[in-house]
Each structure stands twice: as C-alpha cells, then as structure tokens.
Structure 1
Amino acid sequence: MLPNFATQFVTCCMNTPSHFLMTAALDKALPRVPIVKSAFLLGSVAPDLPLWLLSIAGIVYYRFMLGWSAAATANWMFDHLYFHDPIWIAAHNFLHAPLILLTGIGLVWRTRRNIGSRSRWLFWFLLACGLHATIDIFTHADDGPLLFFPLDWTTRFSSPVSYWDDRYYGREFQQFEIGLNVLLLLYLTTPRIDRFLRRKCRSALRS
C-alpha cells in the first residue's frame, strides 16, 4: 500500500511530543484564557496513545512471541492492521475523529465555564484533541485520521504534505519539525533557566 510505511512508527516518537510542545506553548501564550492545563496537555497526546499501546502489544506478540522479523512485524501492523483491523481503526481514530470531538464539545459547551466541573475539564481536553487531529489531517498524505468516523471508515484527506513520507516532503517536514521543537522548548524553558541561573548566582554571591 504505502512503501516503507513502517517508518511512521519510528518518526511518531517525535511527532507525539511535538503536539505536546505546541499545546504547552499555546497554553503559555494565552495566560488570560482560563485553560484547564491538565486537560489541555493530556488532550494534546491522548489521540496517539491507543496506537502506541497497540504497537507495543503488537511488537511483543508478533516479534517476540511468534518470532516474526522486525520488518514483517512493522509491515503487518502498519500496512494491514492500521488500515483494515476494526480494533486498530476504532482505537486510533476515536479521539482523532472530527465528528466525535465536535459532538463532545457541543455537549459540554453550555457548562464549560463552570469552575471545577467535569464539563470544563472535558471541554479543554476535547479542544486539545481537536487541535491535534486538525494538525494530523493536514500532515498525512493518505494515512491520516478518518474524516467522518464512525459513520465512514475509509475517507481520509489527501494532504500534499506528510510528516514522515519522503514522497510528500517528509524529510523537509522532519527538519522543520525539529527546528520548531527546539524553538518551542526554548520558549517554554528559557525563563525558568534564567530564574534558575539568577538564584544560583545570588547563592554563590552570598556564600
């Protein structure tokens, strides 16, 4: 189906943290918005967690219990199960599905401002999942989230850019992503590093 699609398993270890960094930076950039930070940050990575768990379980079963080669294991999981197995499809697409996320946001919309409520927590969790899913839709050539899941189990957006596939600027995108992650890390940590160094300098001067 897709040449070397198993490469996605290697590059996804970078992609999921990228979602976290982008969401954390957005949270920091909007200090006046009453974001529920725990929900927002968890929602940034939650859509990918089922695929991670299925992949780890698949490696244990096919690679170590059945004795398949690493290549055969990866190809079976990402060329077949990812596209055709109902459990894999449902697990991976549930929190990537625009219809499910929009429905959930709609259900909690009226009570989203209630401090300490589950609705408020769910609103920010689902909003972060939606941001994650939107980015994924536009950075997968033909293996992205299902657009109309659970009503349709086949339709995907054909993006001209892939975050991993070299046929669709994957190499260039990975370089961009690494640069973006470095900038986001600096944005998120530089003030803390500065405060840490100031404290150390003051402590050294006092001693």
Structure 2
Amino acid sequence: MNTPAHLIFGITAFGRADSGKVTLAAAAGALIPDLSLYVLAGWHLIVLGTDPEIVFGQMYYSEEWQRIFRIDNSFVLWGIALGLAAMLRSKVFIALSAAALLHLLLDFPLHNDDARAHFWPVTNWKFISPVSYWDTRYYGHIVGPVEVAAVLGCCFVLWQRYAHVPAMRVATAAAALLQISPVIVWMLFFGGV
C-alpha cells in the first residue's frame, strides 16, 4: 500500500484523540516499515542522481536493500516488540508496534514481485501475492481505487475524532490529498478530464 494510506490506517486504528503521544507513536509505527525505502531511494535519487529505473528496477531488489527490508518488515520482530510493549503496559509502544504490524498485515497480501521477507529471521521466504496494490498486471487497477476509498473513509473518521485538534485535521487533509493526488494527476493527463 501507499505510505499515506498506512499512516491513515495506523492512526485510525491506534491513535487516540486524548493522547498526542499515542497518536504520534501510531503514525511512527505506520511509517517505520517504509522508512528505509525512503532513505535508500531518496539518497540515490536526490543526492546521487541515480536513474529511477535503476533504483526501483535493480537496487530495490538487490540483496543489500532486501536485507534491510527484512528487518523493518518482520512480523517476528514487530510481534516481539508488541509483546514487550504489552508486558510493559506502554500505550505509546503498543500503538507504535501495533501500527507497524497493521502496516505489514496490509502489505502482505498486496505485493507481487516486490514482496518482502516478512518472517525474518525465521525464514527469508516471501509471499508472492497474485494481487498488487499498484501493478495493473496483478489487479492494481482494482485494488488502488479500493485503497483510496478506504483511506477517504478513515479520513472522515479522523476528521470527526480530531475535531478539537486543528493540526490533526490539517494532517488528515494532507494525507488524504497525498493519497488521491496520483489519481487526480493521472486523470488530468490521461483521462481527458
């Protein structure tokens, strides 16, 4: 799934209107599994000027990058983190770990050839899903609009939940815009709108 969707789902599921720390932890947990990709790709695209086709067509699939993705996308490690957080009864760390696990649960069935080894360190096996959130060869043209609809539904919930927190309303609107902007751009340039 797209990272803005993960943020929205994580905050909807584990954020709390009465606790900015818990909400921030839920957002962080929803982001962390994608953070290494942003750092690695950003470094190569922005700093080094590496061609995007090389970054996403070769480097993404390299053993070096996949080794990193195994760590921050591990059900095993995040499950241990959630167990420890629950033992400590830390609402902040529970929200962080649970949001990261939700991220993985949503990604697991929606990645085809770009799948990650979600069960490391137990195994490096990857579930190659017949469905993709983005690749039209694997129903991305169906999953994408469903994702957008679900995100917008969650944004409506968050808009109501955080009515007393203007910064969260701005953040919710920004995340919704980030989620739907590729659709709008695609329609403007290719859909004859």
- TM-score with structure 1 setting the length: 0.67
Structure 2 CA distance, aligned partners of 1:194 and 1:126? 26
Residues 19-49 of structure 1 show CA distances to partners (whole Å, capped at 9, x for unaligned) of 1111222246x889xx932212210111111
Greater than 4 Å deviation, 4+ residue runs: 190-196
Following superposition, the deviation at residue 105 of structure 1 comes to: 2.5
Residue from 135, 139, 159 that aligns with 1:189: 159
Which amino acid is the alignment partner of residue 103 of structure 1?
I
CA contact (8 A) 1:23 1:41 kept: yes
Structure 1 CA distance, aligned partners of 2:161 and 2:17? 15
Structure 2 CA distance, aligned partners of 1:183 and 1:157? 28
| Higher mean C-alpha displacement, 94-103 vs 74-83 | 74-83
Following superposition, the deviation at residue 57 of structure 1 comes to: 0.6
Following superposition, the deviation at residue 166 of structure 1 comes to: 0.6
1:92 aligns with 2:69: yes
Higher alpha-carbon Rg: 1
| Structure 1 counterpart of 2:176 | none
Following superposition, the deviation at residue 157 of structure 1 comes to: 0.8
| Alignment gaps of 5+ in structure 1 | 1-11, 114-118, 197-207
CA contact (8 A) 2:66 2:116 kept: no
Alignment of 1:43-82 (within 5 A): 43-63=29-49, 73-82=51-60
Taking only aligned residues, the RMSD between alpha carbons, in angstroms, comes to 3.0
- TM-score with structure 2 setting the length: 0.72
1:149 aligns with 2:124: no
| Structure 1 counterpart of 2:172 | none
Aligned length: 165
1:17 aligns with 2:10: no
CA contact (8 A) 2:17 2:23 kept: no
Structure 1 CA distance, aligned partners of 2:165 and 2:101? 34
Following superposition, the deviation at residue 120 of structure 1 comes to: 4.4
Residues 42-92 of structure 1 show CA distances to partners (whole Å, capped at 9, x for unaligned) of 1011111110111111113553xxxx6xxxx22222232222232x22333
Structure 1 CA distance, aligned partners of 2:87 and 2:158? 32
Counterparts in 2 of 1:109 and 1:162: CA distance versus 1, 3 Å: same
CA contact (8 A) 1:58 1:77 kept: yes
Counterparts in 2 of 1:194 and 1:57: CA distance versus 1, 3 Å: closer
Following superposition, the deviation at residue 190 of structure 1 comes to: 4.5
Residues 102-154 of structure 1 show CA distances to partners (whole Å, capped at 9, x for unaligned) of 2222334322x2xxxxx54333211111110111011112322213223434x
Residue from 147, 161, 179 that aligns with 2:131: 161
| Alignment gaps of 5+ in structure 2 | 167-193
CA contact (8 A) 1:164 1:171 kept: yes
| Structure 1 counterpart of 2:102 | 131
Counterparts in 2 of 1:79 and 1:151: CA distance versus 1, 3 Å: farther
Counterparts in 2 of 1:26 and 1:107: CA distance versus 1, 3 Å: closer
Fraction of identical pairs, as percent: 26
